[in-house]
Chains A and B, each alone.
Chain A
Amino acid sequence: MQYALLIYEDERNYQDEAVYKSILDQHNAFSEELGDRIRGGAELKPVATATTVRQSAPGAARTVHDGPFAETREQLGGFYLIEAADLDEALAWARKLPMAGAGCIEVRPVGAS
Chain B
Amino acid sequence: MSPTLEQAVRDAGGRVRAALAARFRDLDLAEEAFAEACVAALPAWAEAGPPRDPAAWLYKAALRRALDLKRRAKVRAGYRPDPRAPEPTPEEALLVADDPIPDERLRLIFVCCHPAVGTEARAALTLRLVCGLSTAEIAAAFLISEPALAQRIVRAKRKIADAGVPFETPGPDAWPERMDAVLSTLEVAYAKAYEDAAGAGAHADFYEEVLRLSGLLARLAPGDGEALSFAAMVRFTEARRPARLDDDGAMIPLDQQDPAQWRHDLIDEGERLLKRAAACARRPGPRALQAAIHCAHCVRRRGKPTPWPAIVGLYDALLEHRPDAVVRLNRAVALAETAGVEAGLAEVEALAGERTAGWLPWHAARAHLLARLDRAVEAAAAFDAALALNPAPAERLYLERRRAQAAPAAAASPSAA
Interface: A1 (CB within 8 A):
yes
Q: Which of B164, B166, B168 is within 8 Å of A109, CB to CB?
A: B164
Interface: A86 (CB within 8 A):
yes
Interface: A63 (CB within 8 A):
no
Contact between chains at B170 and A109 (CB < 8 Å):
no
Contact between chains at A88 and B162 (CB < 8 Å):
no
Contact between chains at B165 and A86 (CB < 8 Å):
yes
Contact between chains at B162 and A86 (CB < 8 Å):
no
Contact between chains at B163 and A85 (CB < 8 Å):
no
Chain A hits for B170, CB < 8 A? 88
Give the distance in Å from the alpha carbon of A85 to the alpha carbon of B165 in the complex.
10
**For window 3-17 of chain A, which residues contact chain B by CB distance below 8 Å?**
3
Main SS at interface, chain A? mixed
Interface: A49 (CB within 8 A):
no
Q: Which of B116, B162, B166, B174 is within 8 Å of A85, CB to CB?
A: B166
Q: Which single residue of chain A is at the shortest CB-CB distance from B166?
A: A86
Chain B hits for A3, CB < 8 A? 164
Give the distance in Å from the alpha carbon of A1 to the alpha carbon of B114 in the complex.
18
Q: Distance in Å from the Cβ of A96 to the closest Cβ of chain B?
A: 12
Sort chain A's interface into a size bin. 10 to 19
Chain B hits for A113, CB < 8 A? 162
Q: Which single residue of chain B is at the shortest CB-CB distance from A108?
A: B163
In the complex, per-residue mask of A74-95: 1 if CB is within 8 Å of any chain B CB, else 0: 0000000000111111100000
Give the distance in Å from the alpha carbon of A61 to the alpha carbon of B114 in the complex.
41
In the complex, per-residue mask of B151-165: 1 if CB is within 8 Å of any chain A CB, else 0: 000000000001111
In the complex, per-residue mask of B167-180: 1 if CB is within 8 Å of any chain A CB, else 0: 01010001000000
Chain B hits for A85, CB < 8 A? 166
Q: Distance in Å from the Cβ of B323 to the closest Cβ of chain A?
A: 21
Chain B hits for A88, CB < 8 A? 165-166, 168, 170, 174
Residues of A within 8 A of B (CB): 1, 3, 84-90, 108-109, 113
- What would be 26 A-B contacts, judged by CB atoms less than 8 Å apart? A1-B164, A3-B164, A84-B164, A85-B166, A86-B164, A86-B165, A86-B166, A86-B168, A87-B114, A87-B116, A87-B163, A87-B164, A87-B165, A87-B166, A88-B165, A88-B166, A88-B168, A88-B170, A88-B174, A89-B166, A90-B164, A108-B163, A109-B162, A109-B163, A109-B164, A113-B162
